[in-house]
């Protein structure tokens, strides 16, 4: 029973990822694309959790933390680049 429900949930999440990819391709401004990419990263976390139920194995659950951290750092870097033009600033007294 749970396996068929997980398959249905995987279908729903893949539809939502397709909608987000449409926004990434079409989005009129750069922040639109970054918002959609951030949501894509979060959806990817859900896909990994569902895949680990399908395989009935808990070997992939570290990947959840890893994708979460990487998506967060990427979004922060993009936001800082859009706002200031640099990601890592130089020293002020140099």
Partner 1 sequence: MLNIGLDILIALFILGGALLALVAAYGVLRLPDVYTRNHAASKSATLGIMLLLFGTFLYFLEDGHFNSRLLLGIAFIFITSPVAGHLLSRAAYNSGVKLWEGSVQDDLENKEKLEQGK
Contact residues for partner 1, defined by CB under 8 A: 1-2, 5-6, 8-10, 12-13, 15-17, 19-20, 22-23, 29-32, 34-36, 38-39, 42-43, 45-46, 49-50, 52-53, 58, 61-62, 64-65, 68-69, 71-72, 75-76, 78-80, 82-83
Number of Cβ within a 10 Å radius of residue 20: 19
- Residue among 37 and 93 whose Cβ is closer to partner 1: 37
CA–CA distance from 18 to each of 36, 43, 45, 65, 76 (Å)? 11, 11, 15, 23, 23
């Amino acid at each position: 029973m749970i396996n068929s429900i997980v398959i249905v949930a995987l279908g729903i999440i893949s539809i939502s990822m397709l909608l987000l990819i449409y926004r990434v391709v079409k989005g009129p401004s750069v922040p639109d694309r970054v918002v959609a990419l951030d949501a894509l990263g979060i959806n990817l976390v859900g896909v990994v959790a569902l895949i680990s139920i399908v395989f009935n194995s808990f070997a992939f659950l570290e990947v959840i933390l890893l994708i979460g951290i990487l998506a967060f750092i990427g979004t922060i870097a993009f936001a800082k680049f859009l706002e200031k033009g640099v990601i890592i600033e130089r020293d002020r007294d140099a």
